[in-house]
Homo-oligomer: A and B are copies of this chain.
Amino acid sequence: MRMIPMQQSFLSSPIRILLFIGVFMITTKGTTQKTTSAKQDSVIVKKIYNASLLEGKSYEWLDYLSNQIGGRLSGSLNAQRAVEWAEKELKELGLDKVWLQSVMVPKWTRGVTEFAYIETELGKTTNVPICALGGSVPTPIGGLKAPVIEVKGIEELADLGTEKIKGKIVFYNRPMQAELIQTFQAYGGCVDQRYAGAKEAAKFGAVGVIVRSMNLRQDDYPHTGAMSYGDLSNSEKIPAAAISTNGADLLSAMLKLNPQIKFNFNMNCRLWKDVESFNVIGEIKGTTYPNEYMVVGGHLDSWDLGDGSHDDGAGIVQSMEVLRLFKKIGYKPKRSIRVVLFMNEENGLRGGKKYAKEAKEKGENHVFALESDAGGFTPRGFSFDCDEANLQQIQSWKPLFAPYLIHYFEKGGSGADIGPLKKEKGIVLAGLRPDSQRYFDYHHAANDTFDAVNKRELELGAATMTSLMYLMDTYGIK
């Protein structure tokens, strides 16, 4: 024990005791408040999950959207039916406001079902499954037949040069990397072949391109998706198709046996003039900060081959469910919460751009946006596009999510549709991150259908999104 020097004892005992009690009270009060609110939060989060799993509507909605409407490419009759259905369903939720936001979208049609075959010699043919890439020009009537040159990527074109490419069909055959755990990374490492493959090959005189489907599985489904001709003139554009993974391996094997074989494919897809379509928006007015907006959404359009259940029917019904669950459990958000069902994510992003543009013009202060566009699989967490302070706040909520096996709260991308809302600071963007292992088995293909979505997994995703929205609304952003 150390003796107290005389001068220190000038601070008289009663004052020291008061100081001590004061500090103690502040500490206790802070801890108690924190404990109480954490406890209250966990009760509300439990209510949200229970409501989603026991009285959820997301699966029933998806059943309708997938099986009664179906694939809904921008500008199609089905896309318009989806707009009308979503508006009607949101109106039935008794939100404060539901409206349509007009947006001009591209209209591309697939036409009659494509077909293709490999010709080893005249009359000896083997059929392979293909589909036109979204935005492609058609083949000439009667099809396009030409020799094939296989490459593993755009960067090989320059080495080959015009001499070896001119008059041929370029076959892009770089597979997704199976060893990447996050399958979206594997997708990102291949998708340039699909998006820019035709544009680049055309510069070397190619007459068409065939692209290996972005699929980690060996099967017979061709996977469509957006492609772009950049600034090529109409006469320079060449037709572009996806081939199934099995078809790609077959074509590659046959080319090794005989480099002289020809590929024949037939597509009569067409790009029309832009047409009017809509984002569908519903809003619950905030009780305390009505001028702070929080958005939850997905995209209402889909590709045309399947019924778009995972991409992005799941995100649509989960986003609608967020507002419905708030109503269901009687939670009145402090901030204004909007569900935005974006049009035209797949081939234009016009809906996302329009929403952000109008929000900016109106000076609406958006503080948070969450998108679900990675399939209706078991949720694992979220990735965030935000600053460090906000990420830390969000990560402090991890214990609330642990009982629901939600562990992933990391920096990363959010969602294409909400991307245009990004600003220097003052907004947190988030993307739901479901298990991604099976996503590319279905993505943009004819098997992306209702039966591939599990009810519980879909409902867990909706509850996880609602819980994050609740916490963001309760604590705001930093």
- The answer on a CB contact under 8 Å between B181 and A50 is no
Task: Decide yes or no whether A361 CB sits under 8 A from chain B.
Answer: no
- The answer on a CB contact under 8 Å between B179 and A50 is yes
Which of the segments A201-209, A254-262, A318-326, A434-442 contacts the partner chain? A434-442
When chains A and B are docked, how far (Å) is the Cα of A19 from the Cα of B216? Answer: 59
A378 in contact with B437 given A179-B53, A179-B54, A405-B408 (CB within 8 Å): yes
When chains A and B are docked, how far (Å) is the Cα of A435 from the Cα of B179? Answer: 20
Q: Which residues of B contact A179 (CB under 8 A)?
A: 49-50, 53-54
Task: Decide yes or no whether A332 CB sits under 8 A from chain B.
Answer: no
Task: Decide yes or no whether A107 CB sits under 8 A from chain B.
Answer: no
Q: Which residues of B contact A369 (CB under 8 A)?
A: none
Task: Decide yes or no whether A460 CB sits under 8 A from chain B.
Answer: yes
Shortest A452–chain B CB gap in Å is: 11
- The answer on a CB contact under 8 Å between A438 and B460 is no
- The answer on a CB contact under 8 Å between A181 and B380 is no
Residue of B49, B407, B435 near A435 (CB, 8 A) is B435
A181 in contact with B403 given A378-B435, A460-B437 (CB within 8 Å): yes
Task: Decide yes or no whether A456 CB sits under 8 A from chain B.
Answer: yes
Q: Which residues of B contact A53 (CB under 8 A)?
A: 178-179
Residue of B380, B441, B455 near A454 (CB, 8 A) is B441
Beta-carbon contacts under 8 Å, A204-240 to B: 216-217
Beta-carbon contacts under 8 Å, A438-478 to B: 438, 441, 454-457, 460
When chains A and B are docked, how far (Å) is the Cα of A50 from the Cα of B179? Answer: 5
Contact with B along A397-421 (1 / 0, CB 8 A): 0000001110110000000000000
Q: Which residues of B contact A403 (CB under 8 A)?
A: 181
Q: Which residues of B contact A457 (CB under 8 A)?
A: 437-438
A405 in contact with B378 given A179-B49, A435-B435, A454-B437 (CB within 8 Å): no
Interface size bucket, A side? 20 to 34
- The answer on a CB contact under 8 Å between A54 and B181 is no
Give the number of copies in the complex.
2
Q: Which residues of B contact A380 (CB under 8 A)?
A: 405
- The answer on a CB contact under 8 Å between A181 and B217 is no
When chains A and B are docked, how far (Å) is the Cα of A405 from the Cα of B183? Answer: 12
Query: Which partner residue on chain B sits nearest A454 by CB separation?
Result: B438
Shortest A218–chain B CB gap in Å is: 9
Residue of B50, B181, B405, B407 near A460 (CB, 8 A) is B181
Q: Which residues of B contact A50 (CB under 8 A)?
A: 179
Contact with B along A54-75 (1 / 0, CB 8 A): 1000000000000000000000
Query: Which partner residue on chain B sits nearest A440 by CB separation?
Result: B456
Q: Which residues of B contact A178 (CB under 8 A)?
A: 53-54, 456
Shortest A199–chain B CB gap in Å is: 31
When chains A and B are docked, how far (Å) is the Cα of A240 from the Cα of B405? Answer: 36
Shortest A439–chain B CB gap in Å is: 11
Q: Which residues of B contact A404 (CB under 8 A)?
A: 181
- The answer on a CB contact under 8 Å between B378 and A456 is no
Residue of B49, B181, B437, B454 near A181 (CB, 8 A) is B49
When chains A and B are docked, how far (Å) is the Cα of A8 from the Cα of B408? Answer: 52
Query: Which partner residue on chain B sits nearest A180 by CB separation?
Result: B53
When chains A and B are docked, how far (Å) is the Cα of A134 from the Cα of B404? Answer: 33
When chains A and B are docked, how far (Å) is the Cα of A346 from the Cα of B298? Answer: 44
When chains A and B are docked, how far (Å) is the Cα of A155 from the Cα of B283? Answer: 48
Q: Which residues of B contact A407 (CB under 8 A)?
A: 407-408
Shortest A123–chain B CB gap in Å is: 36
When chains A and B are docked, how far (Å) is the Cα of A460 from the Cα of B438? Answer: 12
Query: Which partner residue on chain B sits nearest A433 by CB separation?
Result: B405
- The answer on a CB contact under 8 Å between B216 and A456 is yes
When chains A and B are docked, how far (Å) is the Cα of A457 from the Cα of B181? Answer: 10
When chains A and B are docked, how far (Å) is the Cα of A54 from the Cα of B186? Answer: 14
When chains A and B are docked, how far (Å) is the Cα of A174 from the Cα of B49? Answer: 21
Counting from the closest, the 4 A-B pairs by CB-CB distance are A407-B407, A50-B179, A437-B456, A53-B179
Q: Please list the residues of chain A having a beta carbon within 8 angstroms of any beta carbon in chain B.
A: 49-50, 53-54, 178-179, 181-182, 216-217, 378, 380, 403-405, 407-408, 435, 437-438, 441, 454-457, 460
Q: Could you list 12 A-B pairs, sorted by A, with CB under 8 Å? A: A49-B179, A49-B181, A53-B179, A54-B179, A178-B456, A181-B460, A378-B378, A378-B435, A380-B405, A405-B408, A437-B460, A438-B454
Further pairs besides A53-B178, A182-B405: 8, Cβ < 8 Å: A49-B181, A53-B179, A54-B179, A378-B437, A437-B454, A437-B457, A438-B457, A441-B454
